[in-house]
Amino acid sequence: MHQDELFELEDNDGDRIQDVEEMEGCSFDSCNRPFYARWKKEVPYCKTHYEQARQGKLLRPIRKMLTRGTYAECQFTGCGLPHSSGGYCDGHYQQNQKGGPLKPLRSWISQAEWGGKCRYGPCEDTPHSRGLCVMHYGRGISQFARDAIFALQNNCCGICGKTESGDARGWHLDHAHECDGGHKPVNYCVKCVRGLLCLNCNRHGLAWYENNYRHHPSNPLFPLLEEWIARRIKFHGAVDSPDVTVSYLSRADGSEQSIVQHANEARPR
């Protein structure tokens, strides 16, 4: 930065306007820090906001620095974990940094506490995560949760009603590819699950309809498939718990269906 830009400003006629000591503070909302320089010789900023503008970053409020020992515990209600940064524990600090709503952290249990084998029914495979093997952990939507979804669908495919999946690997978990959960379209989370489908409905019927057919304005829509595309599964309780329950909201009529499904009840084959 040139010295004349930092210490003194001139108007178009070359006349001196005022010294830095007499100028207003930073123009960013509620900043009120001392003036440092004008961005593009127009907008007055403090040093921090000037650097944010110079680097092309989104201008953000400057966080108040906390002295060591200000907080002993996380300030999220009911957390109680040791303070890490910004008034929060490490988990809630990461949630806050992502800009989403703060939520209670899931209780952590070591693999040793879960035991040496999968805790789903008679399975004796080595646990992969949360005490479940790779297959029954299900990339975050456990087999306990899938059992509950299957019972909600009357133990059949959610679209065609078949009682057999048609796939040796089991039923297919269908999800919406447009999700605000922050993951890739090929992945899923508790926000975008629609239900369980057989092989033909998931890989052929629904895929063809959703990705091709319905994008042509002249084609009439199929109410059954439109209702399926619009619905979402709601999980009540931890998705890896044997006591998880599920429900879904039918957006067509606003009704909600729910069912409690426990681990010892009917399971999809």
Residue range 227-251, pLDDT digits in tens: 999 999 999 988 999 999 999 865 5
**Mean pLDDT over residues 20-40, rounded?**
75
Residue 255 pairs in a beta bridge with 250
Please give the pLDDT value at position 253: 47
Residue 258 pairs in a beta bridge with 247
Confidence band, pLDDT 50/70/90 cuts, at residue 7: very low
Confidence band, pLDDT 50/70/90 cuts, at residue 166: very high
* 216 contact partners, CB below 8 Å, separation of at least 6: none
Q: Residue for token digits 């091709």?
A: 212
172-175 and 43-45 beta bridge pairing: unpaired
Provide the CB-side half-sphere exposure for 116 (13 A, CA). 0
- To the question of pTM greater than 0.85 for the whole model, the response is no
Decide: 30 and 62 in contact? Cβ < 8 Å.
Answer: no
Whether residue 116 has pLDDT greater than 80: yes
Terminal alpha carbon distance of the chain: 70
Decide: 59 and 28 in contact? Cβ < 8 Å.
Answer: yes
- The 10 Å Cβ neighbour count of residue 60 is 10
Listed range (35-39, 63-67, 180-184, 200-204) with the worst mean pLDDT: 63-67
d(CA 38, CA 63): 22
Of all residues in the chain, the percent with pLDDT exceeding 90 is 38
pLDDT tens sequence across 182-233: 788 889 999 899 999 999 999 999 999 999 999 999 999 999 999 999 999 9
Of 8 and 208, which is predicted with more confidence? 208
